[in-house]
Amino acid sequence: MQAKTTHNKTKYAVVIGGSNIDICATSQNDLGEKTSNPGKITTSLGGVGRNIAENLALLGIDCRLISAVGLDIYGDRIIAQGKEVGINMDHVSKLKHSSTSTYVSILDQGGDMSIAISDMSIAEQINIDNHKTLIERAEIVIADTNIGEPTLTKLIGLMGNQPLIIDAVSDIKAPRVIPHLNSIHTLKVNNSEAISICGENMTLKHMAKILHKKGVKNIFITLGEKGVFYSDGIHQDIIETEPYKVINSNGAGDAFSAAVGFSYLQGWDIFKTAFFAQNAARIALSHENTINPQMSIRAINNLEEN
């Protein structure tokens, strides 16, 4: 499967969401409670919105990030590294009296997250008031639910005919989309986030039916090692994935969402999108950092061919 990079610089994606520092601790052995566990600790840049933007940049998309960081060393690092990888960081605010978001995750011996704690309060201060023209002229807009509900409401009011793609982020924040489902073109959730939006545990097809009825056009429900369920109201299925080694599961969902945005810009159907995005997630899982620096169209194509 060959993909064409979008080189037309008049067409760009806007990503709105969190930017933070990821501190990731991986245990060497089975995790023991209330004791010190030997392992490896790494620090990398994260935040769902920022991660999506970086993956888009690595896939060759002109991407503008709207986010907020603190006036601190972590904020400086996020802005500098974003520029380095090709993200337009001109719309990232530096706030005087807030600290850059920090996300701490504990991974088990197999690389799966056991528990995490996040301080994302600064994301509630992301302000889109000065970015009306930027948003209106974007080819696509991708937002995560770290942004406050008032900001999400304001964003929807600024949207034109371009699609709004939402990454639901977490069970706690996913319900923020409930009042706005009729304005969301594409919704990316995992199974538990889908349940938190639909209100109860039910089959994937039933949840998709409810979300489509409320106005969502495309739905992707990621299922971890079981693959991904996709639905556009007409075509729906589960794409299973081959067994693979997980090194760090933190960035897989963000890579998936970026690949969904990339696929939309290529005009792909929902099956091709789900297949491509699932393989992008696998690329992300194969590196110790939240973002795999080897992410590229070529890497995804090679994975598909092999």
Q: Which CATH architecture has domain 13-305?
A: 3-Layer(aba) Sandwich (3.40)
Tell me the whole-structure pTM to 2 decimals.
0.89
Q: Residue range 189-216: average pLDDT?
A: 97
Sorting pLDDT into bands at 50, 70 and 90, what band is 206?
very high
Q: Residue range 100-113: average pLDDT?
A: 88
- For residue 116 the two structure tokens come to 């995490």
The 10s digit of each residue's pLDDT in 31-82 is: 999 999 999 998 889 999 999 999 999 999 999 999 999 999 999 999 999 9
Checking if the pLDDT of 90 tops 80, the result is yes
All structural domains of the chain with their residue ranges: 13-305
Bridge partners, 65 (sequence order): 15
Sorting pLDDT into bands at 50, 70 and 90, what band is 2?
very low
**Mean confidence (pLDDT) of the chain:** 92
pLDDT at 9: 47
Q: Residue range 240-250: average pLDDT?
A: 81
pLDDT at 10: 65
Which of the pair, 46 or 219, is modelled with greater confidence? 219
Sorting pLDDT into bands at 50, 70 and 90, what band is 5?
very low
pLDDT at 112: 84
- The CA distance from 126 to 69, in Å, is 9
The 10s digit of each residue's pLDDT in 18-38 is: 999 988 899 999 999 999 999
- For residue 72 the two structure tokens come to 């601190």
Checking if the pLDDT of 227 tops 70, the result is yes
Checking if the pLDDT of 237 tops 90, the result is yes
Those residues with Cβ within 8 angstroms of residue 54's Cβ, 6 or more apart along the chain or in another chain: 45, 82, 85, 87, 291
pLDDT at 254: 97
